[in-house]
A and B are shown apart, each in its own frame.
Chain A
């Protein structure tokens, strides 16, 4: 079983984790109606760092506050990073108003990562729900950078409506260029949509992978992840090779403030990427 922290050798741990590093906004892109991506590079002489797919940063907007957001860019572009997010509160609202050249504070990268190295030789099924595609995109880049090391790679992506499809051009590009099966579905659509309509779990029974030799990476709303894991299990995918990315309230990002606890695990340092087995007893429980 691949552990979620194996072969991770990115950010130096001895850098003071509570101090933000200044980064500069290089680009702001509106992805959909309510989702946008910030592209950042270390400011001036600040030192950036590499990251592993699935990790997150704490992003600080001067005078407003800080939020945890997964990194959504290609790890090989580091120290350049991208963060894709929606406006969900005060800080993200302020973030939506930043412009090229503005400065943000970045702490991180923190957390465990998708075990891309650990699942070499397997089929890889990636199931993304809504904005859950963002933390999975770095994993897709890593998989495609070493395409020959994996067998089948399948991306199942479900979102609300066709207008909410993220990274549309990239998906088309990947579909064409790489040996990657991409199936997209939406919860509802106008009749102009010629593709699948229905929840993403309905695509699992017939997706082209061999369950006996498959690893799965799942990211999206918690309910979607639970049902997805269940469908995969029904099809025979090993639970110890099924990985989810969890989300909880975070304040410090380094396991010292207690907020992100999920049962006995800290989402910020024991996660956010967990193997299904690690958290199965907690998943169905209310208010844990």
Chain B
């Protein structure tokens, strides 16, 4: 698939809504299609985090290996969701594992490249950070609800 055909997809994605045409093109330039087979590792804790993903179909599980408990999934990202913000801040390394429990199709964005462009053009930087802040706050809120263990026994 050529880069040209990715642009309308990126344009139509709610996450990128409202971005100027030139930024859409720029971002499209940093994007490529990726596929993960069932069970495939997407990234591992400690790996260099130079990418973020927009899930197009399927599911990606965010996991921790906990001694005595095993591999535990704490979050999944599904169609339309963004995965990965470790590329935004040093040390630019993933803080957890990710695997695809189902065959998954995603767009992978070159975070390293986009980082550079944000440094050059602060307006672009603002737009990108604004959107990622939204994702982070939503995840934080969800995590808080998970932490409350609402379905537990209130002991």
Contacts and interface: CB of A to CB of B under 8 A. Distances in A.
Given A187-B149, A188-B74, A191-B99, 16 more contacts: A34-B153, A86-B153, A185-B76, A191-B101, A193-B73, A193-B101, A195-B76, A195-B101, A198-B75, A198-B142, A202-B142, A206-B79, A220-B150, A221-B151, A223-B145, A223-B148
Interface string B119-155: 0000000000000000000100110011011111100
Contacts of B74: 188, 197
Nearest to B151: A130
A228 to B, nearest CB: 10
Interface residues of B, number: 28
B151 A189 contact: no
Interface of B: 59, 61-63, 70-76, 78-80, 99, 101-102, 138, 141-142, 145-146, 148-153
Nearest to B144: A199
B150 A188 contact: no
Nearest to A164: B151
A34 B152 CA distance: 10
A148 B80 CA distance: 30
Contacts of B102: 194
A269 interface: no
Given A34-B153, A223-B150, A197 B70 contact: no
Nearest to B99: A191
A128 to B, nearest CB: 11
Given A190-B70, A191-B71, A223-B145, A198 B76 contact: yes
Contact of B72 (A188, A220, A227): A188
Contacts of A34: 153
Contacts of A227: 141, 145
